Amino acid sequence: MSRRIGVITGSLRRDAYTKQIAEYLINSAPEGIELSIIDISDLPLYNQDFDESPDEPLSYARFREEVASKDGFIFVTPEYNRSIPAALKNALDIASRPSGKNVWSGKPAAVISASPSAIGGFGASHHLRQVAVVLNMPVVALPEMYISHVADAFDGSGNIADERLKSLFEKFLEAYSKWIERF
């Protein structure tokens, strides 16, 4: 049975490194895992006044339905000010509301962080893991994926240029594949 996994990137930038990583993951997915990107770019800021209101943005319902249809998630996030981008936090909030209707709950997750800096988005990764705990998403612990100097990770065509990084992605996807079988 193939597992349907949503890949959510934290950056809204058109040529974001996180989007390149997501595309690489999709093209490298092992048998039994179907990866697809879930777009968060059209989500207005979460506002509790919209909960179960006829004025609720259509994008909220679309996003919640897409999240509900997946068996798990891989989050690929940049680091903004030692945390996750506002767009990603907003998406997490939207799909966890209204109260009692958290569509993330019980679905296995994994986190990849990437940064041009040397620490590879460590702060963002751990903040995202902290939010995932509250949303009842079990996150695979190892291997941790902090991609430092991400600008050097790709060649001019958007391919992973570093063989060591390709090997890490392979191990990451294998570990996540085993992780989701537990749920």
pLDDT in tens, 110-169: 999 999 988 889 999 999 999 999 999 999 999 999 999 998 888 877 788 888 999 999
What is the average pLDDT across 44-56?
93
What is the average pLDDT across 33-55?
95
Query: Cβ neighbours of residue 35 under 8 Å, at least 6 residues apart?
Result: 5, 6, 7, 25, 26, 29, 74
pTM of the model: 0.96
Q: Transcribe the chain into DSSP letters.
A: --EEEEEEES---TT-HHHHHHHHHHHHPPTTEEEEE---TT-PPP-GGGTT-TTS-HHHHHHHHHHHT-SEEEEEEE-BTTB--HHHHHHHHHTT-STT--TTTT--EEEEEE-SSTTTTHHHHHHHHHHHHHTT--B--SS-EEE-SGGGSB-TTS-B--HHHHHHHHHHHHHHHHHHTT-
Say if residue 52's pLDDT is above 90. no
Say if residue 101's pLDDT is above 90. yes
Lowest mean pLDDT among 42-51, 81-90, 113-122: 113-122
Res 173: pLDDT: 96
Res 162: pLDDT: 86
Question: pLDDT tens, 18-35?
Answer: 999 999 999 999 999 999
Q: What percent of the chain has pLDDT over 70?
A: 100
pLDDT band at 170 (very low <50, low <70, confident <90, very high): very high
Kind of pairing between the strands at 33-37 and 145-147: unpaired
Structure tokens at 33: 């895992």
Say if residue 4's pLDDT is above 80. yes
Res 20: pLDDT: 93
Give φ, ψ of 37 to 5 degrees.
Answer: -80, 135
What is the set of domains in the chain, with CATH numbers?
3-180 (3.40.50.360)
